[in-house]
Amino acid sequence: MNLVALNEIAERLVTPGRGILAADESTGTIKKRFDAIGVESTETSRRDWRELLLRASEGMRHFISGVILYEETLYQDGANGTPLVELIAAAGALPGIKVDKGTRPLSNFSSETITEGLDGLAERLARAFERGARFAKWRAAFTIGDGLPTSGAIKANAQDLARYAAICQNAGIVPVVEPEVLMDGPHDIHCCDEVTRQVLAAVFQALFEQRVALEGMVLKPNMILCGESCQRRPTVDEVAHRTISAFKAVVPAAVPGVAFLSGGQSDEDATARLNAINRRGGLPWKMTFSFGRALQAAPLKTWSGRSENTAAAQQAFVHRARMNSLASLGQWTSTLERVG
């Protein structure tokens, strides 16, 4: 393990004013998003969409530190034959790769899941590194419900996240560790707070046991939020306060940065909450974004599969990337959304 090199990459991913574009939707997930705009999901249409984002040079050069790719995209060439990873590198960003294989039911744990993908991971990472990937992502999902998540499911997923991270670091690749407490359900923000602390505590205990170097990783967690069907909606400041308090209690300061996932939040909600977190200041970690839908929803709708909409879609992407860049510095205001 070259900890100096890993730390340099991790620090680049959380560079102030920059964040990670999560463009790693599985074939099934991107089909659902294409279905919503009336576009057939094919290898070519998926390539065209992702190439559109990567060629939005203003946004990529100024606001994006890294791009998480699906395996198909990592090995894909653009329409003119240029490897898509070269477009990312030319913009000064780092290519990354989603390496988990999705979730499946966890045996003997009703309604809970475990993430697959450890088998053959070292070999896949070696190929990805040769292609240019310098970081990877693995997601574990936790549902809040009656008696959920259980301690057994939390521990099982934490152990797999830690094994993934250790394998990554030994391959010279920075692990982005993503334990996501889902927004599904009616739970309140207090419940999310408790569960998120439990999950993060278990994850860092497992990382310690697997001898993962915290200086060479990035954490990609949820913010502390209520469930999507909860009637009492927390304020932006309450989200920021609870998120910071929880993280200070369980996330070691050695971690270079936190790149929040957007989950089920709207574009502007995710931006406003990230901004409120950074406005408080005095944090031991850099706090930025690793958004998928919250960066892509507006440009995807604008594009709608038509080449004549490419420039407008790219501008929509640049706008969202800029808004989140400002939020990562605590400098965003809602008026900027209206003036573009």
Considering 178, 194, 209, 268, which one is annotated as catalytic?
178
Domains observed in the chain: 3-339 (3.20.20.70)
How far is the C-alpha of 175 from the C-alpha of 161, rounded, in Å? 9
Q: What is the pLDDT of residue 281?
A: 87
pLDDT exceeds 80 at position 130: yes
Asked whether 156 and 106 are in contact (CB, 8 A), the reply is yes
Question: How many beta carbons lie within 10 A of that of residue 139, not counting itself?
Answer: 21
Measured CA distances, 215 to 13, 164, 219 (Å): 12, 16, 11
State yes or no: pLDDT of 192 exceeds 80.
yes
Instruction: Give me the half-sphere count of Cα atoms (radius 13 Å) on the Cβ side of residue 65.
Output: 24
The rounded percent of the chain whose pLDDT value lies above 90 is 98
pLDDT band at 1 (very low <50, low <70, confident <90, very high): confident
Is it the case that residue 204 has pLDDT exceeding 60? yes
Distance of CA 300 to CAs 50, 88, 188, Å?
10, 19, 31
- Is the pTM higher than 0.95? The answer reads yes
pLDDT-derived band at 338 (thresholds 50, 70, 90) equals: confident
Q: Are 117 and 100 in contact (CB under 8 A)?
A: yes
Mean model confidence pLDDT for the chain? 97
Residue 253, C-beta contacts closer than 8 angstroms, at least 6 positions apart: 284, 285
Confidence of residue 279 (pLDDT cuts 50, 70, 90): very high
Beta carbons of 48 and 54 less than 8 angstroms apart: no
Mean pLDDT of the 253-282 span: 97
Return all residues near 49 (Cβ < 8 A) that are at least 6 apart. Answer: 30, 34, 300, 303
Instruction: Name the token pair of 22.
Output: 């999560």
SS3 134: coil
Of 161, 162, 176, which is closest to residue 20 (Cα–Cα)?
A: 176
pLDDT in tens, 208-241: 999 999 999 999 999 999 999 999 999 999 999 9
Q: Given the residues 98, 137, 220, 286, select the one marked as catalytic.
A: 220
**% of the chain exceeding 70 in pLDDT:** 99
* pLDDT band with cut points at 50, 70 and 90 for residue 339: low
Judge whether residue 64 has pLDDT over 60: yes
> What mean pLDDT do residues 116-143 have?
98
Supply the pLDDT for residue 222: 98
Mean pLDDT calculated for residue range 250-261: 98
pLDDT tens-digit readout, 284-313? 999 999 999 999 999 999 999 999 999 999
CA angle 317, 320, 322 (to 5 degrees): 105
Range list of H helices, the chain? 3-13, 27-36, 43-54, 57-63, 71-74, 84-90, 121-131, 151-170, 189-209, 236-250, 267-280, 293-303, 310-328, 335-339
Is position 220 annotated as part of the catalytic site? yes
pLDDT attached to residue 210: 98
Angle (CA) 34 40 43, round 5°: 95
Catalytic annotation present for 178: yes
Mean pLDDT value across residues 117-121: 98
Residue 340 has pLDDT above 80, yes or no: no
| Mean local confidence (pLDDT), 182-209 | 98
